[in-house]
Amino acid sequence: MKTKKARLITNAVTYGVLIALFIILTVMINNKSITRTLKGQLIPICSWIVMAVSLNLVVGISGELSLGHAGFMSIGAFSGIVISGWLLNGFGMEDTTLRLLLAIIAGGLIAGIFGALIGIPVLRLRGDYLAIVTLAFGEIIKNVMNCVYTSVEGTTLHFGFLNSALPGTLLLNGPMGAVKVKAISTFTAGFILVMVTLVIVLNLVNSRSGRAIMAARDNRIAAEAMGINITKYKMMAFVTAAALAGMAGALYGLSMATLVPTKFSFNESINVLVFVVLGGIGNIPGSIVAATALTILPETLRFLQNYRMLAYAILLILVMLLSNNPMVKNLWRRLIPGRKDNGEEALKA
Amino acid sequence: MVFLSNLVNGVSLGSIYAIIALGYTMVYGIAKMLNFAHGDVIMVGAYIIFCAAHYWQLPFPAALLIAMLVSTALGITIEKLAYKPLRQATSLAVLITAIGMSYLLQNTALLIWGANPKVFPDMLNIGSISLFGGQLLIKGETLITILVNIVIMVALTLFISRSRMGKAMRCVSEDKGAAELMGINVNTTISVTFAIGSALAAVAGLLLCSSYPMLQPTTGSMPGIKAFTAAVFGGIGSIPGAMLGGVLLGVIEILGKAYISTELGDAIVFAVLIIVLLVRPTGLLGKPVREKV
């Protein structure tokens, strides 16, 4: 258990570094001294950071392996696109900031509702069975989104399932996904979303509820004996993570011109899980670093051309092998005394 | 008649899932890990058969034998290089390594064979059987797949229950430490498990690509996920469970696609899985785990 002071310092450093980075990057954008590839990646990086931090809430803090996190991102992305298109076409709302704000809030709300609906059955299961059911829900969401058609006519939204004959302008076109999306996401909005996520997650973790969530993770039976309502606290972590993923999805969806439902496949859920595991299970600043580094890495490896993803795979395996090697672990412990990996120890139990 | 034909197709597809699911479930039972690279071993096996038959013009049994040998070697190598050093690590670390392995295999295949789908040669060319005066037409591949599945099921059950190695496997899956104390070589046992699973993967690759003759680097991933689902469906770690789960999953998928909706086939499969797990949280044939305080 970290002391209160050490925790405050870590949190302050995390916020401080992020704010400093944001200011530097904004200045660089204004100076035009930033490469175009990096500039294009800023919004996706923000959404992946939010995804990683929220998944860490489920995997690290609550101790349940979820393999379907991209499903919530998908729900958030497509609801955000529909809300934004509806506000623009139906109500003529030209103000992009307000529209983006409403779209992100709606994406978070709808994903949160689905998180609650899915959480009720999922959290009854344990271990690998829980993991496979989250995988199944992720695949179901992808498959169902492939069949949803939405159009806007005046101020009314029309929904069709497996039925593309809808009046008005199509917003979602089944397997073709969202086409001709007005990209309204900005880096500033992404940064604010990252900060909001951090405030929510760090405060939740350091609150009475957060301690209850971690107690349920460390020893379910002991926590239950102390009068902790396990289901309630596991749901709290799961729904919060789903809502945050929905918001990240809305931000991501509204930064692209087109978006297909198959984008949010099992592979994306796994990618986010890789961020969480490499950054350190239960380690929130670690998730941020890993999400940023691993989003930029495949682009920086572009000089390897066709060998790019191969190099990425080999790096991933090597990092996992080295970080779990007893000799390397001992070395770390000697270099940084007092370092504890409490999240991992807990998951092992 | 249409229903019967769908049913036969479902059992055939399910047999393929079952053979793949065996690889998942045996490895899970012994090493307690989810080997996500298994689906890609199938893909590699199928490519080897394709090369042997297409480029080297080898007869079908030789091609299958080479593919089984290569897959076996691949499975053992993966286990030795990537999984064995992590035996004491957290299950999540092993899971991520397995995913890295899966990426590695897919991208290596992409570099060697390219992204364009290869048309798998029609090797099991044995015609069709027509029943009920031509009303029910069953393809040769379908029958072979079901037969192969039955043969593998019987052989594997005998191997696990009768042979010395099978006994060792059951011991290791129950308690690794105690097995080691009894003089069982745990490392060899785990390697043999990976070898059997990977050899079966090559067979599964052949059957899969004979029924769906499009071969590309991602061929293995979706059947891999479905077979993994099948293993959990039947109760992961249980060999009859993998068989039952695989066949049921295949039947549900084909019937769901035929009678409910083609687009929603996968969603129906996963929805049934969720319902089953809610009623029986450890799968159809899985043993409930008692919690000790």
Distance, CA of B12 to CA of A328 (rounded, Å): 49
Q: What is the pLDDT of residue B290?
A: 66
B 11-50 near A (Cβ less than 8 A): 28, 34
Which residue in B24, B270, B280 has the most chain A C-beta atoms within 10 A of its own C-beta, making it the best mutation to test that interface? B270
Distance, CA of A241 to CA of A213 (rounded, Å): 13
Q: What is the pLDDT of residue A343?
A: 44
The answer to whether the CB atoms of A278 and B96 lie below 8 A apart is: yes
Provide the pLDDT confidence category of residue A245 given band limits of 50, 70 and 90.
Answer: very high
Q: How far is A78 from chain B (nearest CA, A)?
A: 18
The pair of structure tokens assigned to A211 is 């301690």
Domain count, chain A: 1
State which H helix or E strand residue A151 sits in: strand A148-153
Q: How far is B24 from chain A (nearest CA, A)?
A: 13
Distance, CA of A117 to CA of A111 (rounded, Å): 10
Contact B80, B191 (CB under 8 A): yes
State which H helix or E strand residue B17 sits in: helix B2-31
Distance, CA of A249 to CA of A109 (rounded, Å): 12
- Helix, strand, coil share of chain B (percent; to 5): 75, 5, 25
pLDDT above 70 covers a percentage of chain A that reads 95
Distance, CA of A268 to CA of A72 (rounded, Å): 11
B85 at interface of A, judged by CB pairs closer than 8 A = yes
What are the domain boundaries of chain B? 2-220
Residue B224 has pLDDT above 60, yes or no: yes
Average pLDDT of span B169-189: 90
Provide the pLDDT confidence category of residue B194 given band limits of 50, 70 and 90.
Answer: very high
What does the DSSP assignment read for A72-123? Answer: HHHHHHHHHHHHHHHHHHHH----HHHHHHHHHHHHHHHHHHHHHHHHHHHT
Each residue of A340-349: pLDDT tens digit? 544 444 444 3
Q: For A132, name the nearest residue in chain B, comparing CA atoms only.
A: B229
The answer to whether the CB atoms of A321 and B86 lie below 8 A apart is: yes
Q: What is the pLDDT of residue A197?
A: 95
Residue B219 has pLDDT above 80, yes or no: yes
Q: Which of B111, B261, B278 sits opposite A124 (nearest CB)?
A: B278
Residue A114 has pLDDT above 90, yes or no: yes
Pairing of strands B118-119, A169-173: unpaired
Contact A277, A316 (CB under 8 A): no
Contact A68, A269 (CB under 8 A): yes
Query: How many residue contacts between A and B have a Cβ separation below 8 Å?
Result: 123
Q: How far is A107 from chain B (nearest CA, A)?
A: 22
Each residue of B68-108: pLDDT tens digit? 999 999 999 999 999 988 888 888 888 889 989 998 999 99
φ/ψ region of A316 (left if φ > 0, alpha if ψ in -120 to 50, else beta) reads: alpha
Contact B33, B264 (CB under 8 A): no
The pair of structure tokens assigned to B92 is 């999540």
Q: What is the pLDDT of residue A345?
A: 46
Distance, CA of A134 to CA of A119 (rounded, Å): 9
| CATH number of the domain within which A183 lies | 1.10.3470
The answer to whether the CB atoms of A310 and B270 lie below 8 A apart is: no
End-to-end CA distance of chain B: 55
Q: What is the pLDDT of residue B250?
A: 92
| Nearest C-alpha neighbor of A151 from the set A134, A171, A132, A165 | A171
Each residue of B107-143: pLDDT tens digit? 999 999 888 888 887 776 676 777 776 667 777 778 8
Which residues of chain B are within 8 Å of residue A316 when distances are taken between CB atoms?
Answer: 96-97, 99-100, 103
The answer to whether the CB atoms of B267 and A144 lie below 8 A apart is: yes
Q: What is the pLDDT of residue A78?
A: 94
Average pLDDT of span A192-197: 95
Residues 6+ apart with CB under 8 A from A192: none
Q: What is the pLDDT of residue B175?
A: 86
The answer to whether the CB atoms of A146 and B86 lie below 8 A apart is: no
Residue A224 has pLDDT above 70, yes or no: yes
Distance, CA of B219 to CA of A11 (rounded, Å): 45
Q: For B102, name the nearest residue in chain A, comparing CA atoms only.
A: A313
Distance, CA of A235 to CA of A202 (rounded, Å): 17
Residue A109 has pLDDT above 90, yes or no: yes
B86 at interface of A, judged by CB pairs closer than 8 A = yes
| Nearest C-alpha neighbor of B179 from the set B168, B194, B164 | B168
- Helix, strand, coil share of chain A (percent; to 5): 75, 5, 20
Helix and strand counts by DSSP (H, E) for chain B: 11, 4
Q: Which of B99, B110, B274 sits opposite A136 (nearest CB)?
A: B274
The pair of structure tokens assigned to B98 is 């397995």
Which residues of chain A are within 8 Å of residue B261 when distances are taken between CB atoms?
Answer: 147, 162
Q: Which of A277, A306, A317 sits opposite B82 (nearest CB)?
A: A317
Strand, coil or helix: what is A173?
strand
B 240-269 near A (Cβ less than 8 A): 261, 263-264, 266-267
Identify the DSSP state of A184: -
Which residues of chain A are within 8 Å of residue B88 when distances are taken between CB atoms?
Answer: 324, 326
| Nearest C-alpha neighbor of A44 from the set A320, A254, A343, A282 | A254
Which residues of chain A are within 8 Å of residue B87 when distances are taken between CB atoms?
Answer: none
Each residue of A39-59: pLDDT tens digit? 888 999 999 999 999 999 999
pLDDT above 90 covers a percentage of chain B that reads 31
Distance, CA of B120 to CA of B136 (rounded, Å): 26
Residues 6+ apart with CB under 8 A from A89: A152, A168, A169
Q: What is the pLDDT of residue A349?
A: 38
Q: Which residues of B44-57 are buried (b: 16+ CB within 10 A; e: fewer)?
A: bbbbbbbbbbeeee
Strand, coil or helix: what is A67?
coil
Provide the pLDDT confidence category of residue A105 given band limits of 50, 70 and 90.
Answer: very high
Q: How far is A162 from chain B (nearest CA, A)?
A: 8
Q: How far is A98 from chain B (nearest CA, A)?
A: 36
Which residue in B78, B91, B96, B279 has the most chain A C-beta atoms within 10 A of its own C-beta, making it the best mutation to test that interface? B96
Q: If you average pLDDT over every residue of chain A, what do you get? A: 86
Residue numbers of the domain that contains A95: 4-348
